Amino acid sequence: MCDPQRINSVAPATAVKQGGRRGNMMKRSLLCALLLAVTAVPAGAANLVKTYSYFSIGGSTLDEIEKQLSTHGPQVKSTGSRHPGATQMAFTTRISYARQASSCRIADAAVTVKVKVILPEWRRPRKADPDVKLFWDTLAADIKRHEERHVEIAKNHARELEDALKAAYPQKDCDAAKAKAAEITAAVLARHDRAQVQFDRVESVNFESRILRLMRYRIERIENGQLPPPA
């Protein structure tokens, strides 16, 4: 589940400052939930910094697990409810400008998206049935896949934003160039927000059929010896 919020845009010290004496502090980022192990990964031209965190749940039946997820899962601001997984992300742009005699252009732009993914971790009771473990393994894998897709959507739009800023035409002065950068940023992030919402909508509609299909596939792999049976 993704919960959009805002982006920070900062001009480096060597660049023409945005916004006069205070510099450019355009804000527009995106939010979805928590953190832990940090990795920096290039996302095409843009940069991705990804962290993970886990929350523990118990329960020996499907109903108990569902209740635990509803009670302990991360709370998402956009829905006001708790979810089995969540992704928090913040976009940061660093833009420099080149002033010429009669124009000003974006000389360089770098976009970094910082992502925090929170996932559930089941502490299986001894009395839990192997079939419950089979269901949990299937569900946990699907939750992780879902959140990683949110990361991919953010990464793709970070790359799109960086490319669009670099491709912007020169403007009559640097104030106009700053305004153009803000316009480009708002447009790309609006598309990003729509893409995230659409992805969640499609996933929620197909959830039940998808889980059943994934469970059948996991059972087939167990029967073929490709996966160990649930103990």
pLDDT of the residue at 91: 96
228: in domain: no
Q: Which residue has the higher pLDDT, 49 or 61?
A: 49
Of 36-45, 85-94, 171-180, minimum mean pLDDT range: 36-45
Residue for token digits 């969540």? 86
H/E run at residue 119 = strand 104-122
Residue type, 17: K
Q: Which residue has the higher pLDDT, 78 or 39?
A: 78
Number of Cβ within a 10 Å radius of residue 191: 13
Cα angle 154, 156, 158 (rounded to 5 degrees) comes to: 70
Most confidently predicted of 43-57, 58-72, 94-108, 118-132? 94-108
* Both structure tokens of 121: 């971790």
Number of domains in the chain: 1
Q: How many CA atoms lie within 13 A of 73 on its CB side?
A: 22
Q: pLDDT per residue over 95-120, tens digit each?
A: 999 999 899 999 999 999 999 999 99
d(CA 208, CA 58): 22
70: in domain: yes
206: in domain: yes
State which residues form the domain around 130.
3-223
Judge whether residue 79 has pLDDT over 90. no
169: in domain: yes
d(CA 157, CA 153): 6
Q: pLDDT per residue over 135-168, tens digit each?
A: 888 889 999 999 999 999 999 999 999 999 999 9
231: in domain: no
H/E run at residue 63 = helix 62-72
42: in domain: yes
104 forms beta bridges with 99, 171
d(CA 144, CA 150): 10
Judge whether residue 76 has pLDDT over 90. no
229: in domain: no
Judge whether residue 6 has pLDDT over 80. no
DSSP string, 69-88: HHHHSPEETTTTEE-S-EEE
Which residues, including other chains, have CB under 8 Å from residue 183's CB and lie 6 or more apart? none
135: in domain: yes
